[in-house]
Every structure is written in structure tokens, then in C-alpha cells.
Amino acid sequence: MSGFLFDKIVFGPLQSRRLGTSLGVNLLPRSYKLCTFNCIYCECGWTYPEKQVITEFHSAENVRDALEAKLSSIQKNKEHLDVITFAGNGEPTLHPEFSKIIDFTIALRDKYYPSAKVSVLSNSSTLGNPEIAKALSKVDSAILKLDAGSERTYKLINKPLTDLSLKEITSILKKFPNNLIIQTIFLKGEIDGEKINNTTDSEVGEWLKLLEEIKPVKVMIYPIDRETPAKNISKISREKLNEIGEKVKKLNIDVLIVG
């Protein structure tokens, strides 16, 4: 699988499984994925570090122009909009002007769709950068990845391209403000000759312990929904997701189960 890449800065509005009617914003290159992780399930396909040596980002001015044009257009057409979502071809916080872009996005949202939320889907890997953490604290929903409770499973599923550990990610997430939403994908299968299943009692138990430490306002759990770059990965049943969701509720954390 080569992966699906967004060829526009602004795309949609689309119906999101988790967020409702969403206007997507892609800050990353159109022709390849740019990320700090190499997740085995990513719809954008594999991350190829050799392509990331020289990266040409969309300028902040081009992002602003594209976003304002789209918001103005859908407002004139009286289209509904629930959320402006930063996602796209990898990790959105890698854009060097991410903080500036968040500031003008909030201003444009207030101008055209004041009832809509601004959300960022991130893999949590850049939160050690104070400027990025501050920018994420301004949005309505910082939806941050936590796909595992153990170091082994984290490395198998997310395949970080740096030496960032799950322990370090957890430590940063524990300090995050009150707009933190944890997103977790559940799956099972085999990767690099090793069995993987983050739905076992032991794996879920470790993940729940991390949630207790992090204390997010909400947890979103979901199964794979599209073809994955890694082969031999299976979708988790709704029944199993419901079972895991009930355990999250016992921690007095709101949970959204999708799929």
C-alpha cells in the first residue's frame, strides 16, 4: 500500500467518524508523508525518512489564504461545520510556523464559524517543544495519540523514528492543559515477525494506568477502518471496544467509541 495523501492545503468539509463535519487542514507536503512516527496502520502509508531531508512547507500566508477562502465559501453556502481539524500527511506540528497558524486559524474561526471547534490530531511526539505545547493549549481539542501501555507495544505499533520513549511521552502528557483528548487505535496481528495485540488484559491494564496518570478530558478509541501499510493487521470488534470503553468509564473519564 502506498498510502493516501491529501493534495490540497484545505480539504472538505468531510464527515469524520469522531468529530462530525470537519474541514481538514494539511500543513505538510503534498507528495509524501512527513512524520516522526512510522505507524503500522497509518492511512498515509509508510514514513520514508530519506524524503524528509529537505522539506518545503506551505507558507503560513498560503495556509491563511486557503483557509479563509474556504471558510468564506462554505459560509456563503450556509454549510454546517463542526470543527476545523489539523491532520493531513503526517504530523501537523512539524510545520515551522505551527504556532502562528494556530493563532490566525482561531481568529478566522471566530470570524466565520464561531460555534465550530479547532482541533489538532497529533502523535504527541513534539510536545517537549514549549512553543508547540503552548499553541496546542489554545485549541479547543488537542487530540493526542497514546496507542499502547507498554514500551514494547508502543514501538511495534508506532515505530518512532527518534529515541522518544513512551515514558517520556506520558510524562509530557501529564503536564498538559485541560483540553487534552487521548486517541487510541486498537488492533492485533503480526509485525516484523512479532505478534501484536494491544487489547489483551495486560496491555489494556497498562494503558489504563497511564490514563489514570494523564487524566485526559476524553478518550477516543477506534479500530482500523482502512487498508494498512503493514500486512496481517486485523480489525477489533465493536464488542471488544465496548468492553475496553467500560473500563475507561470506571476511571471517570469520558469515552467515545467509534467503529
CA 235 to chain centre: 19
**Would 66 be classed as within a structural domain?**
yes
pLDDT at residue 136, rounded to an integer: 95
The DSSP H or E segment spanning 167 is: helix 166-173
CATH code at 199? 3.20.20.70
Partnered with residue 70 across adjacent β-strands are none
Residue 234: inside a domain, yes or no? yes
HEC-encoded secondary structure of 7-58: CCCEEEEEEECCCEEEEEECCCCCCCCECCCCCCCCCCCCCCHHHHCCCCCC
Q: What is the largest CA-CA distance in the chain?
A: 54
- Confirm whether 174 is domain-assigned: yes
Residue 5 lies in a domain: no
Instruction: Provide the grid cell at 174.
Output: 501529564
Query: What's the confidence (pLDDT) of residue 51?
Result: 63
Q: Can you tell me the distance from the alpha carbon of 22 to that of 16, in angstroms, rounded to the nearest whole number?
A: 6
What is the model's pLDDT at position 54? Answer: 56
Q: Which domain holds residue 225?
A: 10-257
SS3 100: helix
Q: Can you tell me whether residue 204 is helix, strand or coil? A: helix
**Coil/strand/helix, residue 226:** coil
- Residue 112 domain flag: yes
Terminal-to-terminal C-alpha distance of the chain: 22
Please check whether residue 1 lies inside any domain of the structure: no
Which grid cell is 204?
Answer: 489494556
One digit per residue, the tens of pLDDT, for the chain of length 259 reads: 456 777 889 998 988 877 889 999 999 888 788 899 999 998 877 777 766 655 778 899 999 999 999 999 999 999 999 999 999 889 999 999 999 999 999 999 999 999 999 999 999 999 999 999 999 999 999 999 999 999 999 999 999 998 899 999 999 899 887 789 999 999 999 888 889 999 999 999 999 999 999 999 999 999 998 888 888 899 999 999 999 999 999 999 999 998 7
Q: Which cell numbers in the block locate residue 11?
A: 480539504
Q: For 74-89, b where at least 16 C-beta lie within 10 A, e where not — what string?
A: beeeeeebbbbbbbbb
Exposure of 212 by Cβ count < 10 A (0-12 exposed, 13-18 middle, 19+ buried)? Answer: exposed
| Structural domain includes residue 131 | yes
Q: Are 143 and 91 in contact (CB under 8 A)?
A: no
The three-class DSSP label of residue 191 is strand
Distances (CA, A) of 22 to 57, 81, 132: 22, 6, 22
156 in any annotated domain: yes
Number of domains in the chain: 1
Q: Render 104-156 in DSSP notation, one character per residue.
A: HHHHHHHHH-TTSEEEEEE-STTTTSHHHHHHHHHSSEEEEE---SSHHHHHH
How many residues are listed for the chain in this entry? 259
The 3-state DSSP class for residue 184 equals strand
